[in-house]
Amino acid sequence: MKAKATIRLGFPSEKQLKTVSSALLPELNKPVGTRARAELEEEGVFLILKVEAENTVALRSALNAYLRWISSIRNVMVILEQV
């Protein structure tokens, strides 16, 4: 793998962090393609997303996918808290 990125995202609570982390497990365990792979780590209330890819195009694609999933999960959690 030639391209790498590490992103550290903060969450308001460990509960929200665990929810996002567990929701992403299916994607981590069985990735769609072979051009990129990702890892998640938890550090306090921070989620650390590490992505490695064959090239920058694959890296950007994988990062966009994971960041969109994380954003969608957080949006759903906000809506559920309002109900």
| pLDDT tens by residue, 24-46 | 999 988 877 889 999 999 999 99
Residue whose entry in the numeric block shows the structure tokens 């790498």: 4
Domain count, the chain: 1
CATH of residue 43's domain is: 3.30.310.50
- Cα 31 from Cα 54, distance rounded (Å): 14
pLDDT tens digits, 37-77: 999 999 999 999 999 999 999 999 999 999 999 999 999 99
- Cα 25 from Cα 3, distance rounded (Å): 22
Q: Where are the alpha helices (DSSP H) in 1-83?
A: 14-29, 56-82
- Cα 57 from Cα 49, distance rounded (Å): 17
The CA-CA-CA angle for residues 64, 70, 75, to 5°, reads 120
- Provide the domain limits for residue 62: 3-82
pTM for this model (two decimals): 0.89
